[in-house]
Amino acid sequence: MENLKGACIIGQSGGPTCVINASAQGVIQTALANENITRVLGAAHGIKGVLADQLYDMGQEDPAELDLLQFTPSSALGSCRYKLADPDVDDTDYKRILEIFQKYDVRYFFYNGGNDSMDTCNKISKYMQKVGYPCNIMGVPKTIDNDLSGTDHCPGYASAAKYIATSCMELYQDARVYDTGTVVVVEIMGRHAGWLAGAAGLASWAGSGPDLVYLPEVDFHMDQFLADVKRVYEANGTCLVAVSEGIHYADGTFVSEAKTSATDGFGHAQLGGLAVMLADVIKEKMGVKVRGIELSLLQRCGSHLASKTDVEEAYLVGKAAVEAAVSGMTDHMVGLDCVRDESGYHCQTKLVPLTEAANTERKVPRAWINAQGNGVEQGFIDYALPLIQGEPQRPLEGSLPRFAKLKKVLTTEMD
């Protein structure tokens, strides 16, 4: 392991979360305080900022504003969804990255993102090793989808889960106010894994949540769905349903993408999203009042409902990434290792090889979903509930959020 001295770059990538900036804060503040790191550069829009030589000098930021990053949703440095080519096929980007690394004497690279970002991180790491450029490269995990392997959970998930659970609890109160009956369908993010939709089950567990919850881990059957809704509606006069945007039929077709079909009587053209489409089907089949609600971007930027546990862990993975890199570690992602037992919930960081983190998608275990596929089991609650605990003391001005205001001073100088 080399004892490197030089600049570092921190980049944010993929869909933002409530706490990705807490991780950036963990990286930036730890790096600014470290004597081996000569300069802390923030990449504008992730790896695209590296390629474009658009780097912010984080040392010029007001420390008080950096402190506010943990309460500021979305990616403060800007994000991207840029996919690097296979370096064996096209190494143009990699050469450019090396050029920029050399220009600023970058010896540490921290990339904060989900599956695709860990893949980017891994490719850059392997390339730098191949060309013999010493640079310690660490992945910092984030994704509301919680589908990253090698970690108990991902920073960002818990705050989105808390937003979803709280919102569903409130909607449950609202949806049953009239005696005329209504079916409300709530659409929740998560294209391939049901961690977020499952969070609606926390609301049900708390006694004010969806009657039915559908995750993409179980094949969706429209007939069964309609029978479920009908049963609940007939018993209670109302029905609150939570669905993952990723629910799909047995043949893999997303329900949201099913086209109008005269034959099956269920298919509808997509009219503004899955929730509205399912609500329309219910209205047509049952003749009841319906409403479709899409939580949309609100669920990934609702920092006013952030989990304190999540904010702290997000900061921690950033901090741990810098500490590991400075101590000589490279080519790993920081993961979370958690224990849930009688004494409570305990969480610490660990290091996961980037190759392991980059290539698998973690799904909700089937055993945590009920047999009927329309709700979650206690195992899911036991897993998710500790993660959403605690309310950060977010700063307010006039009772509105006070977000970090960064100067974002671009640098083109070597220093």
> Are 293 and 275 in contact, with CB atoms under 8 Å apart?
yes
Nearer of residues 296 and 355 to a second copy, judged by Cβ: 296
Catalytic residue among 57, 93, 119, 145: 145
Exposure of 31 by Cβ count < 10 A (0-12 exposed, 13-18 middle, 19+ buried)? buried
Nearer of residues 78 and 246 to a second copy, judged by Cβ: 78
CA-wise closest residue to 151 among 201, 114, 121: 114
Nearer of residues 59 and 237 to a second copy, judged by Cβ: 237
- Compute the distance between CA of residue 231 and CA of residue 317 in angstroms, rounded to an integer: 45
145 is catalytic: yes
Q: At 329, give phi and psi (nearest 5°).
A: -80, 145
Contacting residues toward a second copy, per CB under 8 A: 16, 44-45, 48, 72-75, 78-81, 162, 165-167, 169-171, 173-179, 184, 202-203, 206-208, 271-273, 276, 291-298, 300-305, 307, 385, 388-391, 396-401, 403, 405
Nearer of residues 122 and 307 to a second copy, judged by Cβ: 307
Nearer of residues 80 and 352 to a second copy, judged by Cβ: 80
- Compute the distance between CA of residue 228 and CA of residue 321 in angstroms, rounded to an integer: 47
- Compute the distance between CA of residue 378 and CA of residue 249 in angstroms, rounded to an integer: 26
- Smallest gap from Cβ 353 to a second copy, in A, equals 29
Helices 157-175 and 308-326 pack at an angle, to 10 degrees, of 170
- Compute the distance between CA of residue 154 and CA of residue 317 in angstroms, rounded to an integer: 10
The secondary structure of residue 71, as a DSSP letter, is G
- Compute the distance between CA of residue 115 and CA of residue 44 in angstroms, rounded to an integer: 20
The residues that are catalytic are 145
